[in-house]
Amino acid sequence: SAVISQKPSRDICQRGTSLTIQCQVDSQVTMMFWYRQQPGQSLTLIATANQGSEATYESGFVIDKFPISRPNLTFSTLTVSNLSPEDSSIYLCSVWVDTGELFFGEGSRLTVL
Amino acid sequence: ILNVEQSPQSLHVQEGDSTNFTCSFPSSNFYALHWYRWETAKSPEALFVMTLNGDEKKKGRISATLNTKEGYSYLYIKGSQPEDSATYLCARNTGNQFYFGTGTSLTVIP
């Protein structure tokens, strides 16, 4: 298993600003992901955070809007840039472990005014 | 079916009732089906990982079945309790990607 600490748990931000979310895992993991859940929607994969190289983004998500850092095998950050109300979502960090299970952080609930 | 679909979207049951909900998914490129329980302000909690057609898994009052040929899984809760109130998510794993449904929101009324 894996224990994931994610912060902030929630935030309210003004339009045009940025928010950085941190994800800390209690063990070294290769596969780390960032998901988003917009209201009424399914969990959608934003990107795979790769250690030592640029993140791999899914269709519809770009680095300029969602820059990701992965300095080591236990930590990652996701920044949501130039915020608009449409970015109001829950953002979740997750890791995939050898058992084939996906573990999640508690999520960061973002409201953009 | 192109996407993972869950039904119903929401459900209210009385304490003590049994209930079930459905996850439908494309049957091609199937690797595993995951069920999660997600309470507000908490991490989604893994309930089951199911891989084989005909799989049945059980954890306490919660059980799940899997039909990979027709592309569906059922989650059953026997004798629902208020603490079962949560959103139940299913996800299809193709080996290197997880595709989630929108979830079923369950409210158990005391």
Sequence-ordered list of residues with C-beta below 8 angstroms from that of B60, at least 6 positions apart, any chain: none
pLDDT in tens, A92-106: 999 998 888 899 999
Contact B77, B100 (CB under 8 A): no
- Chain B CA closest to residue A41: B102
Return the amino acid letter for A30. T
- Residue pairs between chains A and B whose CB atoms are closer than 8 Å: 41
Which of B43, B48, B89 has the highest number of chain A CBs within 10 A, making it the mutation to test binding with A?
Answer: B43
| Bond before A8 cis per omega within 30 degrees | yes
Residues of B in contact with A44 (CB under 8 A): 100
The minimal CB distance from A101 to the residues B49, B97, B103 is found for B49
pLDDT bin (cut points 50, 70, 90) of residue B13 is: very high
Distance CA B91, CA B86 (A): 16
Contact B52, B109 (CB under 8 A): no
pLDDT in tens, A27-46: 999 889 999 999 888 889 99
